[in-house]
């Protein structure tokens, strides 16, 4: 029924490097702080649109923020 997502991400590292708090980043991408925490911890897969918004905040391509494991290692 409920399973954690296979998508991993570097949001926390990128956010800290950009000097943003969770509240600030959450506000910029239009979600609650709890949702941002869930995304950072891999407990929620963001929509494609939200993923692009996050990448845009950091000024990086999508695959610099999110990763999906190869089939052999999944």
Name the site residues for other proteins (rule: CB under 8 A). 1-6, 30-35, 38, 41-45, 47, 50
Write down the least CB distance from residue 45 to other proteins, Å. Answer: 5
In sequence order, what are the residues at sequence separation of 6 or more whose Cβ sits closer than 8 angstroms to the Cβ of residue 6? 68, 69, 74
Write down the least CB distance from residue 72 to other proteins, Å. Answer: 21
Whose Cβ is closer to other proteins: residue 19's or residue 30's? 30
Write down the least CB distance from residue 25 to other proteins, Å. Answer: 13
How far is it, in rounded angstroms, from Cα 7 to Cα 42? 7
Main-chain dihedrals φ then ψ at residue 66, nearest 5 degrees? -115, 145
């Amino acid at each position: 029924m409920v399973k954690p997502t296979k998508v991993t991400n570097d949001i926390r590292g990128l956010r800290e490097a950009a000097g943003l708090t969770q509240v600030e980043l959450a506000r910029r991408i239009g979600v609650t702080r709890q949702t941002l925490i869930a995304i950072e911890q891999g407990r929620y897969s963001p929509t494609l649109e939200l993923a692009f918004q996050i990448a845009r905040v950091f000024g990086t391509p999508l695959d610099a923020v999110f990763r999906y494991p190869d089939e052999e290692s999944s």
